[in-house]
Structure 1
């Protein structure tokens, strides 16, 4: 089923979209394409952090530590969340701070869920990820996924990724999921409106 992005854009009414998931799940690649289709402004949170800190993420981790990076991440998220029609590819660990969920919940949270095997194949030659340095890749990925899976599962939508899925196909599935979610919300709103129109009742004492 093909969904018209213009219809989804109208249904969203400017609500921000946040892509969450493990590093290597394709959030930035998919996010750019999806933002273009929806007429949204795209942000990669790690890129914005680098612009704010004027340092690469790897250098922030090495010189200042993960705690400083996480604080910058929250500041960036808070700033973006104050505006509408934004699509954000978040860092894999953004779900770790409870404070971040207060900002994420103002939008639609979409979890791109890829298997460890897919992630390992994509990240095998990547030397830019601070959390993957100096350790066995598969072991580290499994550990990170184990620690974060329950948090990722709090997303509004979960998109399972296959080994042969193209970014365009993933975008199609996200648009379909968004269209269904918007339709369900319209139906719920209609039911609530109908209940509010019904004659009020009074408890007899």
Structure 2
């Protein structure tokens, strides 16, 4: 079995997985990998162009493959918000790390995200899908896969990263 020394961040687009992940990596003296950037790098296209070319289902297949191939150690792994659509990828990530759900309310999400279009957000229901519908669809999936849930509503980036780091340290101490 793989070493479970990674931290895998999941959550809605705009929850802070990438930005908080960088700060968290510094706080915890870990490496950082942004899965969205891995996908863009391997496909040589932006997320939105991949979604436009392959459709939501095709993008999820690409994301599943790339996430399932991650073999990092001592790394904060920021996933795309749609990572939870792939059970195989999530099983792999659970095997190599602690899955942490960065939880924010729908209201907070609406404040942070002015626009889903162009951001590379997978809308399984098509472009007409609302943020409310996306939240309702994904939130139970985040809850399902999360080994640790941290509420980051209303916190500055640094405060949120510190809260996540403290929760991870507490969780690891309980599991010793």
TM over 0.5: yes
Whether 1:39 aligns to 2:36 is no
CA displacement at 1:182 relative to structure 2: 1.3
Residue in structure 2 matched with residue 83 of structure 1 by the alignment = 72
Label 1:150 to 1:174 Cα distance change in 2 as closer, same or farther (>3 A): same
Unaligned stretches of 5+ in structure 2?
none
Select 1:98's aligned residue among 64, 84, 87.
87
Partner of 2:137: 147
User: Within 2, Cα distance between the matches of 1:129 and 1:181?
Assistant: 33
CA distance in structure 2 between the aligned counterparts of 1:87 and 1:26, rounded to whole angstroms: 13
- Contact preservation (8 Å) 1:21, 1:111: yes
Q: Give 2:11's aligned residue.
A: 21
Q: Deviations over 1:58-80 (max 9, x none)?
A: 11111121222112212221222
- Which of 1 and 2 has greater Rg? 1
Structure 1 residues 48-197: aligned runs within 5 Å: 48-80=38-70, 82-106=71-95, 107-125=97-115, 127-131=117-121, 134-135=127-128, 140-154=130-144, 155-163=146-154, 165-186=155-176
Measure the CA separation in 2 of the matches of 1:98 and 1:39. 29
Where structure 1 has 5 or more consecutive residues not aligned to the other structure, the ranges are: 1-12, 187-205
CA distance in 2 between counterparts of 1:115 and 1:79 reads 31
Higher relative contact order (CA 8 A, sep 6+): 2
Q: How far does the alpha carbon of each residue in 1:109-130 deviate from its partner, in whole angstroms, 9 at most, with x for none?
A: 1111111111111111564224
Q: Residues 128 and 101 (structure 1 numbering): CA distance in 2 closer, same or farther, change over 3 Å?
A: same
CA RMSD for the aligned pairs? Answer: 1.9
TM-score by length of 2: 0.87
TM-score, normalised via structure 1 length: 0.76
Give the superposition deviation at 1:169. Answer: 0.5
Match of 2:162, SS state, is helix
> How many residues are aligned here?
169
